[in-house]
Amino acid sequence: MENMNWSDLSFGYMKTDYNVRCYYRNGKWGELEVSSSEIINIHMAATCLHYGQEAFEGLKAFKGKDGKVRIFRMKENGKRMQASSRGIKMAELPVETFEEAVLKVVRLNERFVPPYGSGASLYIRPLLIGLGAQVGVKPADEYMFLVFVTPVGPYFKTGFLPSKVCMMRGYDRAAPLGTGTIKVGGNYAASLAAGELAKEKGYAAVLYLDPKEKKYLDECGPANFFAIKGNNYITPKSESILPSITNKSLMQLAEDMGMTVERRPVPIEELATFEEAAECGTAAVITPLSQVDDLDEGKSYVFTTTNKPGPVCTKLYQKLTGIQCGDEPDPYGWVTIL
């Protein structure tokens, strides 16, 4: 990978050497298999294609100053994939098998882990799909788990610089008691129209509102929302957002920094009172928000006009990314060294 320009990587797909697969057949999971093919060969009546029996995960591996590769909180992703499986009636992959597959795929593709200090990382994408041929709406009896990796740069073009998002009441990504709390493909299909419209209008993402009352903030495209007010870290509690592992980590770090963490419904009007606001996730890391535009009411909530991240977001960003690459101590054992 000598001639690779790691610092120019975008958040896209690049072919790597291997992926790892595992099949569920006759009521049990088989052995992990290594493949060098990017292609999967599946039945045209597979439930993943027709009825959206599909869940995925996203996590990252980082190269440290010491040359070691660290994977961030993979157990949490394994547990969340189980929750997704329960939500759409798929076979649950044991967390240990999930971890074993992640370690294996990273090890097999170690040459693709971007160097320390490049700002890039190795994105790990686990995927679980229903395979059995079915035409009635019912769960499959066969499943395939697959995990591949690809080196990535920042998700948003602006990286750790503030970006603008918008609210549009005409779109929801999930229903009030639907699948918003799990990571299934259908939620992302449902978010594409609003996401593309927002991009056309010059926004980085949509800040979704709670789908029941449209009074509270939900989440921000493929990331959770949080805000800073005084010494408080405030993040929405909702029945229709994905529990972000990054947000969970930041809540802990904020508490460790002596802040008060408030996880509760956040009314839209409260946007006017925040000193800093940001979105957070594996891909977004922390992306500060410069402003939120309410496109229906023609109102703007502005957090910064200087194009600089706020002081608390900066501190949290440094702490989180420091733990991820091994520059900071890891008191909670979040990191697995390869």
Ligand X SMILES: Cc1ncc(COP(=O)(O)O)c(C=O)c1O
Q: Which amino acid is at 58?
A: G
Any contact of residue 223 with ligand X (CB under 6 A)?
Answer: yes
Any contact of residue 105 with ligand X (CB under 6 A)?
Answer: no
Binding mask of the shown chain, residues 258 to 287, with x at each position contacting ligand X by CB under 6 A? -----------------------xx-----
The one-character DSSP state at 215 is -
Distance CA 96, CA 287 (A): 32
In angstroms, give the least distance from the CB of 56 to ligand X. Answer: 9
Both tokens of 79, joined, read 């547990």
In angstroms, give the least distance from the CB of 222 to ligand X. Answer: 4
- Per-residue CA distances from 110 to 69, 145, 149 (Å): 8, 21, 10
Q: Which residue numbers are catalytic?
A: 183
In angstroms, give the least distance from the CB of 90 to ligand X. Answer: 18
Nearer to ligand X, 114 or 281 (CB): 281
Distance CA 291, CA 299 (A): 10
* Chosen residue from 20, 242, 292, 323 binding ligand X by CB under 6 A: 242
The one-character DSSP state at 23 is E
Any contact of residue 84 with ligand X (CB under 6 A)?
Answer: no
- Per-residue CA distances from 239 to 141, 167, 171, 224 (Å): 29, 19, 17, 13
Nearer to ligand X, 134 or 187 (CB): 187
Stretch that binds ligand X, among 81-89, 157-165, 220-228, 269-277 (CB under 6 A): 220-228
Burial class (CB in 10 A: 0-12, 13-18, 19+), 333: exposed
Q: Are 60 and 121 in contact (CB under 8 A)?
A: yes
Any contact of residue 245 with ligand X (CB under 6 A)?
Answer: yes
Any contact of residue 222 with ligand X (CB under 6 A)?
Answer: yes
Type and span of the H or E element at 234 = strand 232-236
* Chosen residue from 52, 58, 64, 115 binding ligand X by CB under 6 A: 58
Any contact of residue 290 with ligand X (CB under 6 A)?
Answer: no
Binding residues (CB under 6 A) for ligand X: these are 58, 219, 222-224, 242, 244-247, 281-282
